């Protein structure tokens, strides 16, 4: 018996990887579109600057890619093998004596390296991405909102309480000319018209806009009772940007720190990093029996069942992680019960599809008769 890579192996692997990359690209586009909309909203509200948008976007993409690999690989295998069934290529292979045993080998040639890649990404890249996110958020907190203002446009502060317009602003954002500001306070509308303004940072670290040579109007819209105050200098506190950090303290810990810790939430994070690669391997193997379709059944006839099984599997992993974090389940058990259920489901699917016999051996004759 030869253990070399056959032409059939290379063909199936190529089909699976090509479809997987296509599915991965589509899912990444969908997720990226949602994140771009969110980032644009934060940017227009003045909570992000041009220097922090790109690093934050790249960081989010790296975090999402790890989570998209299992589901995209599962869908990629399911769609690729379904096409082989629909085009009768699987039937031709089985007629030639090539059955499930070789298909399993082809699937393992794809699933094992990618599962190993997911494991390395979870153990090492995940905490690194979390640390980078914390550093980026710290940089965002240091950036003054004034640096996000654009001349010739009505700029809204992060809290939405004030609108500021200036005809011109220096490149460093420190000096402005011909300023209009409107905000509400205590049920009254406050309006400032000033010739110039400058950005000032107090000793406490708070940012202010110091208006110069202007007028301050206080009143209510539709009423004639207005107060007018002329001033040579008037300071307004600029609110700090909203903290956009995520609960990264546990995620940012290295795998070694999690292993040496006795805290349940740390053990839950460690179990999650180890569980995802195992789940990737099991869920990909499930795609082999689920991809078995009849010519009249349609290429996507098993897709709904496959997505349902994936959602159940992933949600059970989430439940298992929560139980570890709360101390309900000990770490030595972890989410292993979820993987056991997944392995049992895989066996049932293989038996149901006729890919293995009662004795556990692969069956080819059943499909070739």
201-230 pLDDT per residue, tens: 777 667 777 888 888 888 877 677 778 888
Residue 22 to residues 27, 69, 72, 75, 77, Cα–Cα distance (Å): 9, 12, 9, 10, 11
Q: Which residues are CB-contacts of 344 (< 8 A; sequence separation ≥ 6)?
A: none
Domain spans, the chain? 7-141+246-368, 148-238
Task: Count other C-beta atoms under 10 Å from residue 160's C-beta.
Answer: 11
Q: Is 106 helix (H, G, I), strand (E, B) or coil?
A: helix
Report for 107-121, 170-184, 279-293: range of highest mean pLDDT: 107-121
What is the predicted pLDDT for the residue at 360? 47
What is the predicted pLDDT for the residue at 241? 57
Task: Count other C-beta atoms under 10 Å from residue 22's C-beta.
Answer: 15
Question: 121: which 2 tokens?
Answer: 């990404």
H or E segment and range at residue 51: helix 50-86
CA 73 distance to own-chain centroid: 16
CA distance between the termini of the chain: 24
pLDDT in tens, 319-368: 999 999 888 988 888 899 999 999 999 888 888 877 766 554 555 444 44
Q: Identify the weakest region by mean pLDDT among 55-59, 221-225, 231-235, 305-309.
A: 221-225
Strand partners, 217: 191, 228
Buried b (16+ CB within 10 A) or exposed e, 27-62: beeebeeeeeeebeebeebbbbbeebbeebbebbeb
In angstroms, how far apart are the furthest CA atoms of the chain? 97
Q: Which residues are CB-contacts of 67 (< 8 A; sequence separation ≥ 6)?
A: none
Kindly indicate the confidence band of residue 97, based on its pLDDT and cuts at 50, 70 and 90.
Answer: low
The residue that leads in pLDDT, 293 or 130, is: 130
Rounded CA separation 227/193 (Å) = 14
């Amino acid at each position: 018996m030869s253990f070399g890579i056959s032409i059939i192996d290379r063909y199936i692997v190529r089909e699976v990887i090509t479809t997987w990359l296509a599915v991965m690209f589509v899912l990444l586009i969908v997720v990226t579109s949602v994140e771009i909309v969110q980032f644009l909203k934060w940017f227009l509200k003045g909570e992000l600057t041009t220097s922090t948008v790109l690093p934050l976007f790249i960081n989010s993409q790296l975090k999402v890619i790890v989570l998209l690999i299992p589901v995209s690989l599962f869908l990629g295998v399911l769609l690729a093998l379904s096409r082989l069934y629909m085009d009768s290529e699987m039937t031709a292979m089985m007629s030639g004596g090539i059955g499930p045993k070789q298909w399993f080998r082809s699937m393992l040639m794809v699933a094992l390296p990618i599962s190993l890649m997911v494991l390395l990404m979870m153990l090492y890249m995940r905490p690194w991405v979390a640390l980078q996110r914390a550093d980026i958020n710290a940089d965002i907190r240091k950036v003054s909102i004034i640096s996000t203002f654009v001349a010739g446009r009505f700029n809204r502060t992060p809290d939405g309480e004030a609108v500021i317009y200036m005809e011109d602003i220096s490149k460093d954002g420190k000096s402005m000319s011909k300023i209009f500001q409107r905000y509400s306070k205590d049920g009254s509308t406050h309006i400032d018209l000033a010739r110039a303004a400058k950005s000032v940072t107090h000793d406490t670290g708070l940012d202010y806009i110091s208006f110069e040579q202007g007028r301050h109007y206080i009143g209510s819209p539709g009423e004639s009772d207005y107060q007018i105050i002329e001033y040579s200098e008037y300071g307004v506190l600029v609110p700090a940007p909203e903290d956009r950090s995520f609960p990264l303290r546990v995620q940012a810990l290295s795998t070694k720190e999690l292993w040496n810790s006795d805290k349940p939430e740390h053990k839950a994070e460690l179990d999650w990093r180890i569980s995802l690669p195992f789940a990737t391997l099991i869920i990909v193997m499930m795609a082999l029996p689920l991809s078995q379709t009849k010519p009249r059944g349609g290429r996507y006839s098993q897709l709904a069942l496959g997505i349902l099984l994936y959602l159940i599997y992933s949600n059970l992993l989430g439940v298992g992680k929560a139980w570890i974090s709360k101390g309900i389940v000990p770490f030595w058990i972890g989410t292993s019960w979820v993987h056991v259920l997944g392995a049992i489901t895989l066996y049932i699917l293989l038996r149901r599809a006729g890919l293995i016999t009662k004795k556990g051996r692969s069956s080819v004759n059943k499909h070739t008769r």
